Chain A
Amino acid sequence: RKEVEQDPGPFNVPEGATVAFNCTYSNSASQSFFWYRQDCRKEPKLLMSVYSSGNEDGRFTAQLNRASQYISLLIRDSKLSDSATYLCVVNEWGGSYIPTFGRGTSLIVHP
């Protein structure tokens, strides 16, 4: 069983829509959580960190639910440029951080 699970999508939404992704993880001792964005044929880049108190950056909101072991990403007012793959990352600790990636959720924003 994969430790970090994401719905691969694709999520196909019109411009201006609100879209949400979830990611579940299996290790309750996980330490830190992130969302990365990956454009086609590019490397992953950090989008935002995820905290229990929530984290908002413009149109993007990330949330952690430790009790249910999932993290979420909400994108409001979707733009064409938001089209990408969104990777969930869960860190465990083993002397240094051990990041495990989900398979990614594909978002396609159309006009």
Chain B
Amino acid sequence: EAGVVQSPRYKIIEKKQPVAFWCNPISGHNTLYWYLQNLGQGPELLIRYENEEAVDDSQLPKDRFSAERLKGVDSTLKIQPAELGDSAVYLCASSLGQKGTGELFFGEGSRLTVL
């Protein structure tokens, strides 16, 4: 069974440019999470989806970040415009939600460098 797939793995852009990350969760996983991870820190939640509904986006900087999960399967996270401080690893994770134990399955992450 395929795991969580993310793309691109690496992205280098200049500040003020837009960037988008894509995530395809494990089949059947209703809950999808986007996390941001800075060096030496644990992952920090940006947004949590239950199917196509964003049930928790309180930590998403909505002035420049947006996310969608239109059909309740794959998801995109967009930053526009990017700032130097956005350089980080963006991790997507999925879980079974109510049917599961809370275990998360992560993709390999998208490493963003903003110059």
Contact = CB atoms under 8 A, between A and B. Distances in A.
B102 A31 contact: yes
Given A49-B101, A101-B42, A43 B106 contact: yes
A35 to B, nearest CB: 11
Interface residues of A, number: 27
A44 B101 CA distance: 17
Contacts of A107: none
Contacts of A98: 45, 48, 56
Q: Interface SS of chain A: helix, strand, loop or mixed? A: strand
Interface in A62-103: 87, 89, 91, 94-103
Interface in A10-67: 31-32, 34, 36, 42-46, 49
A94 B104 contact: no
Contacts of B45: 98-100
Interface of B: 30-31, 33, 35, 40-45, 48, 50, 55-56, 91, 95, 97-98, 100-104, 106-109
